[in-house]
A and B are shown apart, each in its own frame.
Chain A
Amino acid sequence: MQQVFARPKSLKDVQTHFCPGCHHGTIHRLVAEAIDEYGVQDKTIGVASVGCSVFLYGYFDIDVVESPHGRASAVATGVKRARPDCFVFTYQGDGDLAAIGTAEIIHAANRGEDITVIFVNNTIYGMTGGQMAPTTMVGQKTTTSPYGRNQDKDGAPLRMAELLAQLDGVAFSARVAVNSPKNLMDAKRQIKKAFRYQTEGKGFSFVEALSACPTNWGMSPLAANERVGTELCAYFKPGVYKNTAEL
């Protein structure tokens, strides 16, 4: 018999705390598969951020530095400049990267730091109980936008993959989703490409991964998964927005 499916080596054999239907588990797995497939587990330093993914170090069997909220791209800059031989990635949510961390992500990207940023966008603040995020959709109700996000007062949701693609320092910027087998296979491809940008010294790579948040959306896991494919993908269009090395 041949084993055709297994836990990635760089993912620990532990139970995660993620809610049923949360896509963090899937995205964690894709990142771990990339770490395994490129053989970088022993030289990876992950930078954990603040949000539902704060326990990155509990799930990935790699060295990890914890960053203050929003600052992971700056922390990763310090790590990579000191250890350019290591593989350095951040894993950040929409509050961490697109609200409090906007200065740090834009400037790390603009400087073209040789890091990989995994940005998980679920259009809401998960860990803190469902407040509005910079990526919350217009009309979406959250605990701090109880009447629905109002474009006049709250602005339109930020499209980070497109925004960063405009910077010369960004070599690779893509958006993916993991709500369907087709999208998941594409997500795996783009995450692997993002990894190659760093392992092959080709520059700053960024992947925005759309995610469901059933608990804070007030939906069942299946309905939340559906929402990713319909509502989210319509506004946050999956695609490759920059691919300077044409990988």
Chain B
Amino acid sequence: MTEGELSDRLFVKGNEAVAMAAVEAGCRYYFGYPITPQSDIPEYLSRALPGLNGEFIQAESEIASINMLLGASATGVRAMTSSSGPGISLKQEGISYMAGSELPGVIVNISRSGPGLGGIDPSQADYFQAVKGGGHGGYHIIVLAPDSVQEMYDLTMLAFDLADIYRTPAMVLADSVVGQMKEPLVPNKRPAAELPAKDWVVRGKSGGEQRIVKSLFLGDGELEAHNWKLHAKYRAMKERECRWETFETDGAELVVAAFGSTARIARTSVMMAREAGLKVGLIRPITLFPFPEKAFAGITKSCKRILVVELNTGQMIEDVRLSVAGDTKVEFYGRPPGTGSLPTPEELFEQIKKHY
């Protein structure tokens, strides 16, 4: 966060910060559909894009909008869609096609509770869907998990850059707390980034060679090679793009692991624990894919226990387990999403004491 005059700071909703960041990142094409709790995003862009010679379409469905994103992205423009739960499920086929066709694009999921119609309460139960490749065929997308309005802004801009650098879809995975809350925001300028030339986009041949954007590979050995190529991309992301935050992890004997809103609450609980003399810290993954395994490898020397806290029945914990050295115990505390299930700092402090 940059230093600035008070007048340089705005007081905005998380969802609005996402939309503002998309505009700042040069996105001029948005295709979406209303669904609680993210309708602020299409509403903001319906106001902003026409004045910027952009295109805003409220499509007939989330399926139509992901496919409009696919088409626009194939021409090389920055484009975005957003949705929640059921709508993200509808987009999975389109996302799979984008991953297979190596198309960039940003998909924002302001998670609500499920499964099915569920509710509109905050949830972290879309972790598996986001991180393990929610569509068919075996692929990954970049997944970024903001925990503040500022991160909703900065990580949305990062999503556009990473999507272009790796030619792959990127998801901003937030929950409805971060989406709906209002906090001060410093509207940072788009950071300079070295982006590869888009020499693969469809443009009308213009006297050059034919270009095809597709994911169908029927030739002998073609698709196998293509899958390894995609896999190599994901390995490169793992080497270079892991992001996480640590809080009070030096010498910690118990470390809480959480992302998004839960990490905000857990941070307060960790402070309460430290005040009570317990050596407790917090690891907050910011990239959920690639998952920051190294963050956990770093702390397990002094740390005897990791307590994973999630708004679900246990999803990120699997990736935490894969990341830690054998003798560190990994425990879980979950509040599956639904009305009234957001834990209090006191509640998490009780859990910390229980597992310490």
Contacts and interface: CB of A to CB of B under 8 A. Distances in A.
A64 B203 contact: no
A83 B31 contact: no
Interface in A1-50: 40-45, 47-48
A178 interface: no
A61 B204 contact: no
8 contacts: A57-B214, A63-B204, A63-B210, A66-B214, A74-B63, A80-B71, A82-B55, A82-B72
Interface string B62-87: 01110111111111110100000000
A138 interface: no
B212 interface: yes
A150 to B, nearest CB: 29
Contacts, number: 135
A42 B71 contact: no
Please tell me the size bucket of the interface on A: 35 or more
A109 to B, nearest CB: 11
A236 to B, nearest CB: 26
A58 to B, nearest CB: 9
Interface in B73-105: 73-77, 79, 93-94, 97, 101
Contacts of A40: 204
A82 B29 contact: yes
B344 interface: no
A44 B206 CA distance: 9
Given A79-B72, A81-B68, A63 B211 contact: yes
A104 B64 contact: yes
Interface of A: 40-45, 47-48, 54, 57, 61-68, 71, 74-83, 86-87, 103-104, 106-107, 111
Contact of A61 (B55, B65, B68, B210): B210
A71 B69 CA distance: 11
Interface in B194-208: 202-207
A86 B29 contact: no
Given A63-B211, A64-B212, A78-B75, 17 more contacts: A41-B205, A44-B205, A45-B202, A54-B216, A57-B214, A66-B213, A67-B67, A71-B64, A74-B59, A74-B64, A79-B71, A80-B71, A82-B55, A83-B204, A103-B60, A103-B61, A107-B64
A45 B215 contact: no
Interface in B207-262: 207, 210-216
B181 to A, nearest CB: 32
B204 A87 contact: yes
Contacts of B77: 82
B94 A79 contact: no
Contacts of A67: 67, 70-71, 97
Q: Which of B69, B74, B77, B210 lies at the interface centre, i.e. has the most chain A CB atoms within 10 A of its CB?
A: B74
Among A45, A74, A77, residue most surrounded by chain B Cβ atoms (within 10 Å): A74
Q: Which 4 A-B pairs have the closest CB atoms?
A: A78-B71, A43-B204, A66-B214, A78-B68
B57 interface: yes
Contacts of B71: 47, 65, 67, 74-80, 82
A71 B29 contact: no
Contact of B67 (A57, A62, A74, A86): A74
Given A62-B210, A63-B212, A42 B74 contact: no
B204 A42 contact: yes
Interface centre among A44, A66, A80 (most CB of B within 10 A): A66
